Structure 1
Amino acid sequence: MRSIIRLPFSAAHRHARIEGGLEATNAPPLITITGGSKQYGSRPVLTGISMTVLPGTATALVGRNGSGKSTLLSILAGLLRLSSGVLTCDRQALTIGYAPEAFPGLKLTAEDYLRWMGRIAGFSEAASASRINELLELFSLESSRSRKLAGFSKGMLQKVNLIQTLLIRPQLLLLDEPMSGLDLPAQATLIDVLRELKAEGTALVLSVHEPQIIEAVADTVYVLHEGQTIRTIHGAENLKSAPTVKIVYTALPGQVQQALEALPGVIQVPPPELAGTACTGLIVDQKMSDTCLQQILAAGGSIVSVKPLGGLSDLTEWMDPKDQIGSGRG
């Protein structure tokens, strides 16, 4: 078992955490959104979003590309405003770290860029240099500190993107696809970092496509589809699921399909797929898969595919990153 990596935050930060009571279970929300919607002109991007972000918790945003996850993170970061609805947050009293999905290959070196970010964050030159050294070493980038970002790979840019959010300990950390481009050791390092930040009181909100990061840190999952929350799961214990099976079959009459969906062991009707064919599907408890297959065949359906699913199986359809055709959402 690998040991947890201790992030070297200052004594002042640790003292503030204890005195501020961030570890208390009744701590007030950092941000609350009620009935939030976002439009660009007449085009809806988010509709009727409600969520609460508490200190010391991790919230995962799940949904295919174009479902509105990035737009929601930008609203939480204060980069965009809601078109309607209410967002409650004292931003002047809130320290926010934000790592966007796209990070540019600048002409600055990694060290110069991070020093500038340290100055913006209010670090002294000495404190900034020390913190940068620690984080570059943590993410195995110390040998590339003097290279220009324009020559970095996607994974290296993502590491710098993550490091700039961690120069100070944020009260709220917003990460848009944080695992994108990272190699396996860096993914493990990131998960360790997120676990420790969460334990120290930082609220995490992450858009993700990877089940392992949800299993490692998430307390709540919001499933977004076409800009709306279609499912919310609260409690880490509810994110552990028994093995299931995805069955795809030719479409059946409405009443027959409704009867199939009402069978014991049916967990979810996945989103439409196999464009151009009249197919539908079910995700069912593995123990009930044979019964469901028999019922489909007895009703006159033809089986297209049967696919076993692992942990978090009832969310995997929504973690597929492929675009929703024509959605135009962020």
Structure 2
Amino acid sequence: MANLVDRNFAGGSIGVATSLIELEQISKQYGRRPVLEDVSFTIEKGTVTALIGRNGSGKSTLLSILAGLVQISSGKLSCKDPNLRIGYAPEMFPGLKLTPEQYLRSMGQISGLAPVLIEQELTTLFQLFKLEHFRKQSMLNFSKGMLQKINLIQSLLGSPSLLLLDEPMSGLDLPSMNKLADLLIVLRNKGTAIVFSVHEPQWIELLADQVHVIHEGKIVKSIQGSEKLNIKPSTYILLSNLSIQKLQQLKEMAGFISINTFKDSCNIERTALTVTSSESDTFLRVILESGGSIQSVEPRGGSHDLEKWMNPRS
């Protein structure tokens, strides 16, 4: 873990596909209510799989099944690696009376890690997420972003070969998002398989090798290989000083893709807005006319016909 964030690693992407988990027509029901139906795909070593879909589509249930926390109702789930180590960061992480150090040491011990290894990894990860000064404080008053960082750290302990992340960017400020993205790229190239749910198209463009669109518990579209993602241009706008009502108006405009509000390193609330490039001038004009401030405008890719599935609204 000492060189966990070192970009100058040897090797690179895994060249030979190695299956870790295979799902064959799995379904899950709670009582008579179907949550997942006939889901099939393979998770391979050194790949990143993105799960997208509106809220309630079944993404979190699928991740819980992969983590071994929820049993399937039918179908077949095959683990091809008897020594598979899984790291899992759920979408919600509660504030606890424990300090981050106490909680994470306990999680490391439960995972069977040696105390020396736990301390080495915690030192590296606390530095990465800039939590060194908070490791001995109670988590009861931590912000959502700080709790999310603790959630991510516990999932990374022990260098898992399969990393499952449910909305990992939720609550993080932009620098932390970028650090996490860099880390995931390093882990992927070292052989870790990553499966994550996401609403923001920029992270799919940057990270994903394959995408599965889930709608009402079924995979309705699968895309294999980054060259087949049909990327089209989009614009990433970093802004501030807009009311909730004005932000809601932006969501209703033609060309809207995604929006995320967070606090930056100076504790100033920012909003990251992604829109189609063809409509970016309109969005910029509306933001300024509504009294908003624009910090940066960055051309990026998009997600073509995937955009409609990234909107968390039902």
- Work out the CA distance in 2 between the residues paired with 1:26 and 1:55: 7
Q: Kindly, what percent of the aligned residue pairs are identical?
A: 54
1:64 to 54, 60, 76: 54
Give, in angstroms, the shift of residue 125 of structure 1: 2.0
Q: Does 1:23 align with 2:14?
A: yes
Please give the alpha-carbon distance, in whole angstroms, between the structure 2 residues aligned to 1:212 and 1:26. 25
Structure 1: where are the runs of 5+ without partners?
245-285, 287-308, 325-330
Task: Say whether residues 1:137 and 2:127 are aligned partners.
Answer: yes
1:7 counterpart residue number: 4
Contact 2:20 2:81 in 1 (8 A): no
2:57 alignment partner, SS class: coil
Distance 2:81 2:301 in 1: 40
- Checking the alignment, whether the CA contact within 8 Å between 2:5 and 2:183 is kept in structure 1 is no
One-letter amino acid of the structure 2 residue matched with residue 101 of structure 1: E
Query: Does the alignment pair 1:87 with 2:69?
Result: no
Q: Give the TM-score normalised by the residue count of structure 1.
A: 0.71
CA-to-partner distance for each residue in 1:195-230, whole Å, 9 max, x for gaps? 000000000000001112111110000001110111
Q: Which residue of 2 aligns with 1:183?
A: 173
Find the aligned partners of 1:8 and 1:214 in 2 and give their Cα distance: 20
One-letter amino acid of the counterpart of residue 199, structure 1? N
- Please give the alpha-carbon distance, in whole angstroms, between the structure 1 residues aligned to 2:233 and 2:106: 48
Q: Deviations over 1:265-294 (max 9, x none)?
A: xxxxxxxxxxxxxxxxxxxxx8xxxxxxxx
Larger radius of gyration: 1
Q: Deviations over 1:231-286 (max 9, x none)?
A: 00111111242359xxxxxxxxxxxxxxxxxxxxxxxxxxxxxxxxxxxxxxxxx8
Measured in 1, the distance between the counterparts of 2:4 and 2:135 equals 20
Show structure 2 runs of 5+ residues with no match.
235-277, 279-299
Per the alignment, do residues 6 and 214 of structure 1 end up closer, same or farther by CA in structure 2, a change over 3 Å counting? farther
Task: Name the SS for the 1:108 alignment partner.
Answer: coil
Identify, as 1 or 2, the structure richer in strand. Answer: 2
Distance 2:3 2:216 in 1: 39
Structure 2 distance, partners of 1:315, 1:92, is 35
Q: 1:319 aligns with which of 298, 304, 310?
A: 310
Contact kept? 1:215, 1:240, Cα under 8 Å = no
Q: Deviations over 1:46-76 (max 9, x none)?
A: 0111010000000000001000000000111
Distance 1:91 1:148, change over 3 A: farther
Residue identity opposite 2:85 in structure 1: T
Specify the alignment match of 2:98 in structure 1: 108
Query: What secondary structure is seen at the aligned counterpart in 1 of 2:168?
Result: coil
